[in-house]
Amino acid sequence: MSYPAAACRLSFSIRCVNGALERFADPQNVMEMATRRSTPIASTYYQVRAGGDAAALKGIAKALLQLEEEQGNVLDHAFIAQHTQGFTAFADDLHATRWQDIEQESGLTRESLTQVAAAYAKSRATIVTYGMGITQHNKGTSNVRLIADLLLMRGNIGKPGAGICPLRGHSNVQGNRTVGISEKPSAAFLDSLQRVMGITPPRHHGHDAVKALEAMIAGDAKALICLGGNFAVAMPDHERAFPAMRGLELSVHVGTKLNRSHLLTAKETFILPCLGRTELDLQASGRQSITVEDSMSMVHASSGKLKPASPMLRSEPAIVAGLAKATLPASKVDWQYLVEDYDRIRDLIEQTIPGFENYNQRIRHPGGFRMPLPPTERIWPTATGKAMFSVFKGVHENVVVEGEDVMRLVTLRSHDQYNTTIYAMDDRYRGVFGRRDVLFMNEQDMAAQGLEHGDRVDIHTALPGKRADAGRYHGGGLRHCAGHRRRLLSGSQRAGAAELSG
């Protein structure tokens, strides 16, 4: 078995091919608890407090630094000296950070964090993986930099079997950035685009998702075009996002399925259904394939085989090209020519962006090809030419809010859910059926709040100077709630402070 969730359901053990320490005991299988059996698929497991990732990472780094001082030969001093900058400031900050604060914020003991550091110190090569909960946060960049700092301490970037591995939430988010889809494209990319396409691209920066919503709220943005996604629902503040969507002059949605954002109609709203990646895409030159890039920088072709849901469906490239052709009749770009054969689009990408040499030839090889990534060759594209250690001041990712009624809210994905797309109302992972508006609380917290299973509760932000309602939910008790007394769980992946009212 290669899929842990499937292994737990079928009571199969994970088979270690390379001897790595990867085991985990399924804590929710009632049959296993009754028979005192477990499914071993992880060697150790430490439950980090919600919002305590930075504190935990600093704790591991601090423990690693202390192991170096006690034992020596733990840090890769040659790598640090040759390839990095800023280590002294980084180490000074770790020394100044108190273990008491690290333990309080991370939810882990000094002993546990030292155990992790000791295991890391023994590893010849280490890969650190992380999910979207690390990044979907106002300190997301700082969190990722702390992971990179931890790897830099032992030279675990730019050598076989080592590095940082983000587990993305979308099939092609990595590839989007690689080909220049950014609200802040570089001058070099824009120069290359102008040279190849013969157009003059705008040089001013655009908006990211949050800034786009702020512009919509302020009335500075009048139109929104969404290539997929569920924009309004993905925003944390629905009370402001939903009216902002309705206040637009124009909204256009290209999607494979309907979602709630489509219902937030502007003065004019167009919903343009498109082919999914599993559906056959036939153009003038025949069957087409698109390309995707995974989190390991591997680029490969993707071609659908299923009969389209409707003969009227168009592909995403065809829709974008059609919009461009209708909007820009005097354009220098022959949009129809590009749509007839996607190889022609890839030829232009090859001419515009470094690393795509022989693009069409290489994607036809089994498994595709790997994009060049400078740090894997220990080439650091920074102002100093070296990897930069960072300093995360303190241990708090979130604003500290005190109060008996204040709890920490975490949102997470459920079964039959992909990002903001809900396929069914049942979450069999957690025994919830027929609904999604459910909060999980520790039974001790429920008793302290005077709540009972099934009560309806309203959630409001407790952040100072803020006022937002997260909605009304049905409460449900958890006896051990992942090892923490004060934790509250509900529906995608962001953390924040919340207060309850019955």
The residue type found at 78 is: A
Residue 377 lies in a domain: no
Helix (H, G, I), strand (E, B) or coil at 450: coil
Residues 70 and 13 in one domain: no
384, 386, 391, 397: CA torsion to nearest 10 = 110
Please give the Cα distance from 256 to 276 (Å, whole number). 6
Residues 212 and 351 in one domain: yes
Residues 57 and 161 in one domain: yes
**Which residue, 326, 254, 313, 245, is CA-closest to 279?**
313
Q: β-strands 223-227, 163-166: how paired?
A: unpaired
Which residue, of 167, 194, 213, is where some domain finishes? 167
Residue 454: CATH number of its domain = 2.40.40.20
The DSSP line for 464-479 is TT---EEEEEEEEEES
Q: Which residues contact 277 (CB under 8 A, 6 or more apart)?
A: 171, 290, 302, 304
Q: In the structure, what pLDDT confidence band is assigned to residue 477 with cuts at 50, 70 and 90?
A: low
Which residue, of 167, 198, 228, is where some domain finishes? 167
CA-angle at 160, arms to 157 and 164, nearest 5°: 40
Residue 19 lies in a domain: yes
Q: Which domain holds residue 230?
A: 173-367
Residues 163 and 251 in one domain: no
The residue type found at 27 is: P
Residue 235: CATH number of its domain = 3.40.50.740
> What is the percent of the chain with per-residue pLDDT over 90, rounded to a whole number?
61
Residues 180 and 162 in one domain: no
Residues 440 and 475 in one domain: yes
Residues 214 and 231 in one domain: yes
**Which residue, 305, 301, 316, 295, is CA-closest to 229?**
316
Q: What are the pLDDT digits (tens) for 61-106?
A: 999 999 999 999 999 999 999 999 999 999 999 999 999 999 999 9
Q: Is there a contact between 496 and 455 (Cβ–Cβ < 8 Å)? A: no
Which residue, of 167, 188, 209, is where some domain finishes? 167
Residue 131 lies in a domain: yes
pLDDT reported for residue 23: 52
pLDDT reported for residue 377: 95
Q: Is there a contact between 228 and 173 (Cβ–Cβ < 8 Å)? A: no
Residue 73 lies in a domain: yes
Residue range 396-419: mean pLDDT, rounded: 81
Residues 163 and 208 in one domain: no
> Mean pLDDT in the chain?
86
Q: Is there a contact between 138 and 102 (Cβ–Cβ < 8 Å)? A: no
pLDDT reported for residue 26: 52
- Residue 481 CB coordination number (10 Å): 20
Residue 382 lies in a domain: no
In this model, does residue 498 exceed pLDDT 70?
Answer: no
Ramachandran bin of 19, using left for φ above 0, alpha for ψ from -120 to 50, beta for the remaining angles: left
Ramachandran bin of 219, using left for φ above 0, alpha for ψ from -120 to 50, beta for the remaining angles: left
In this structure, what are the phi and psi dihedrals at residue 140, rounded to the nearest 5 degrees?
Answer: -60, -45
- Residue 322 CB coordination number (10 Å): 15
Residue 389 lies in a domain: no
Q: Is there a contact between 453 and 475 (Cβ–Cβ < 8 Å)? A: yes
Residues 419 and 493 in one domain: yes
Residue 381 lies in a domain: no
Residues 339 and 235 in one domain: yes
Please give the Cα distance from 75 to 61 (Å, whole number). 10
pLDDT reported for residue 331: 92
Please give the Cα distance from 352 to 346 (Å, whole number). 10
Tell me how far CA of residue 215 lies from CA of 153, 181, 206, in angstroms.
41, 20, 11
Q: In the structure, what pLDDT confidence band is assigned to residue 400 with cuts at 50, 70 and 90?
A: confident
Instruction: End-to-end CA distance of the chain: give it in Å, rounded.
Output: 45
Residue 400 lies in a domain: no
Residue 58: CATH number of its domain = 3.40.228.10
Residues 102 and 26 in one domain: no
DSSP 304: -
Q: What are the pLDDT digits (tens) for 171-220?
A: 677 888 899 999 999 999 999 999 999 999 999 999 999 999 999 999 99
Residues 183 and 161 in one domain: no
Q: What are the pLDDT digits (tens) for 321-337?
A: 999 999 998 999 999 99
The residue type found at 152 is: L
Helix (H, G, I), strand (E, B) or coil at 190: helix
pLDDT reported for residue 35: 66
Please give the Cα distance from 265 to 252 (Å, whole number). 10
| Helices marked H in 44-186 | 53-71, 77-83, 87-96, 99-106, 110-122, 132-135, 140-153, 173-178
Q: Is there a contact between 273 and 287 (Cβ–Cβ < 8 Å)? A: no
Report the predicted TM-score, pTM, of the whole model to 2 decimal places: 0.80
Q: What are the pLDDT digits (tens) for 346-388?
A: 999 999 999 999 999 999 999 999 999 999 999 999 999 999 9
**Tally of domains within the chain:** 4
Q: Is there a contact between 179 and 196 (Cβ–Cβ < 8 Å)? A: no
In this model, does residue 29 exceed pLDDT 70?
Answer: no
Q: In the structure, what pLDDT confidence band is assigned to residue 44 with cuts at 50, 70 and 90?
A: confident
The residue type found at 94 is: L
pLDDT reported for residue 167: 83
